[in-house]
Amino acid sequence: MSATSVNSPAQLDYSLDTESGRITKSAECQIGLEAVENDPFCFAVRIPAPLPEDLEQARALALRVEGRRLQGTVRRSERLEDDSLRLEVEPD
């Protein structure tokens, strides 16, 4: 997967595990898509600040960007030096 410009608008739907069960939130934000090194099946999503509420705790993610729909389970969440968030996702 080639990198997508960070200026690509996307609709994010993400799931959080809470004490009262799983909830889903939605947000419109700018993203970048990246390949995950040494894992041809996974992909990474980079979201620049400001971040949608609770996105760092996301357990599942679905997004629509540039006419594509991607979804999967969040395997790793990393805050980067520029205050953006990088989520590594294993597709469903």
CA distances from residue 9 to 4, 65, 74, 84, 86 in whole angstroms, order as listed: 10, 7, 20, 15, 16
Identify the pLDDT of residue 4.
53
Identify the pLDDT of residue 82.
93
Identify the pLDDT of residue 67.
84
Our CA angle for 32, 17, 6, nearest 5°, is 5
Identify the pLDDT of residue 68.
86
Topology of the domain comprising 8-91: Thrombin, subunit H (2.40.10)
Main-chain dihedrals φ then ψ at residue 14, nearest 5 degrees: -135, 145
Identify the pLDDT of residue 22.
93
Over the stretch 12-64, which tens digit does the pLDDT of each residue have? 999 999 999 999 999 999 999 999 989 989 999 999 999 998 999 999 999 98
Q: Which residues does 81 contact at the CB level (< 8 Å), separation at least 6?
A: none
